[in-house]
Amino acid sequence: MKKLIYLCVMVAGASFAQKNSVNISTAEYDQLKKSGQLNAGTVYQFSDLVAPNTAKPNPSSQKNALCGCMLTLDNTYTLAMAPNDDGSSSYIQLPFSFDFFGTQYDSVIINNNGNISFLAPYFEFTANPFPDPSYNMIAPFWG
C-alpha cells in the first residue's frame, strides 16, 4: 500500500512539475506581453531566432573572402608578453600617435590585468577614480 501511495504521489508531482511549452515568434510573444496575456507556467520557445554558430574555425582553411581576418602566423609572430601573473609587455611602438585626454602617445604597455598603460606598467590593483591624470590607462574590464 505504501508503494502505491508513493507511486501516486510521484506521478502527481511529475505531472504538476511539467510546464506547458509553446512555439511562437518573437512578434507574437511581444503582442502577448503587451496585452498582459503571458502565462507564468508556460515555456515560450521562439521559432524565429537564429541558433548560434557553433562551427569551430579550421586554422588550415583558406581566408574568408568576406573578412580575411585571420592571417597565417609566420616566424615573425611573437606574444606581447609571456604568460604570467601581474606582468606586462615592454613598450610597444605604435605606427601612429594616439591622443589620450589631450596627451599624444606613440607607444603603449599591455598589462596582464587587462589594461593598457602609457607611462609605466601597472601590475597591481589601485582604486583610483576615472579619469585620473596620474594613472593613465585604458581599462575595458575595470569594474
Summarised one tens digit per residue, pLDDT across range 50-107 is 555 555 655 555 555 667 677 777 887 777 666 677 788 888 899 999 898 888 999 9
Q: What is the pTM of this model?
A: 0.43
User: What pLDDT, on a 0 to 100 scale, did the predictor assign at position 17?
Assistant: 52
Average pLDDT along the chain: 75
The more confident residue out of 128 and 11 is 128
Distances from the Cα of 1 to the Cα of 4, 7, 8, 11, 91, angstroms: 5, 10, 11, 15, 79
Distance CA 108, CA 120 (A): 9
Distances from the Cα of 23 to the Cα of 18, 34, 37, 42, 138, angstroms: 16, 18, 15, 10, 45
List the domain boundaries for the chain.
19-49, 92-138
